[in-house]
Amino acid sequence: MTPLERNHVTVAGDPGGRPIVFIHGIGSDQQAWAGVAGALADRHRIVLLDNVGAGQSDPAAFVKHRYLNLEAYAEDVAQVMAALELRDVLIVGHSIGGMIGAITARHVPDRAAALALVATSPRYLTEEGYPGGLRREDIDEIYRAATRDFGDWAQQFAEATTGQPADSASGRRFLAALNAVPRERLLTVLCSTLQTDHRREVERIAVPTLILQPSEDPFVPLAVAEYLHDHIPGSRLEVLVSRGHLPHVDNAPGVAQAIRRFEQGLSPRR
């Protein structure tokens, strides 16, 4: 199976424009980028993919021990970029997709031109000197709730993530994507998300970076976006009016406009 088949890659937009690779977050798939990608397709080559274990990615590709950290996801994205022979790529990632993008840029510095981190956190656990947003007991309770009654937890998670009731249009869409992921697989991804610390990875980012932070995010406080801004030299921080953890869904025009402004300020394509 090719990397394009494994990650169910979709390519659209202007073949001559700067490529933008979109990486989704937990409990989601490439469809979450539809509004943003559609708004940018007139001038960019759009590359959408499903992380292994999500969406319509190859089910056989998900090997639990391999995907306990984000390195494997980043290797997959790097292989997709190589298969498409992409250069001067703007990598856009949401939530853990942002950290996957940062790791990818390190793996393939000859292909990555810039990063856009949307509602991204390198570390969810609050520690002395670092305001991650979640206490240890909060994370423990997430695991307990997800294993005790997955259906009830999924509904509450969908409401918190979207900032909307679970029976709203956005709540139903997110809940459907969440429920499409096998339970054990989703718990593995939760583990790889909540228990890891990618702050050192942040310090290694060496490309122009845009940080897009929702104004009301239940999982990533503004202090985390400010931490990223402080630790990524030359980065740009923009706060978007958006309630929930999905600004690219809730405020797709605002996210697309911010990405377009950022991309226009990058060096011309080589």
Q: Exactly one of 44, 245, 248, 250 is catalytic; which is it? A: 245
Is residue 245 annotated as part of the catalytic site, yes or no?
A: yes
Q: Check if the beta carbon of residue 9 is closer than 8 Å to that of residue 47.
A: yes
Q: Exactly one of 29, 76, 217, 250 is catalytic; which is it? A: 217
Is residue 95 annotated as part of the catalytic site, yes or no?
A: yes
Tokens of 77: 């994205």
Q: CB 66: neighbour CB atoms within 10 A?
A: 14
Q: Check if the beta carbon of residue 220 is closer than 8 Å to that of residue 213.
A: yes
Question: Reading across the β-sheet that carries 89-94, which strands appear in turn?
Answer: 10-13, 44-48, 18-23, 89-94, 112-118, 209-216, 236-243
- Report angle CA 125, 220, 69 to the nearest 5 degrees: 55
Listed as own residue / partner, the contacts of 222-227 with beta carbons closer than 8 Å and 24 or more positions apart are 223/131, 223/133, 224/121, 224/122, 224/123, 224/131, 224/132, 224/133, 227/122, 227/130, 227/131
Q: Exactly one of 95, 121, 192, 235 is catalytic; which is it? A: 95
* Residues noted as catalytic: 95, 217, 245
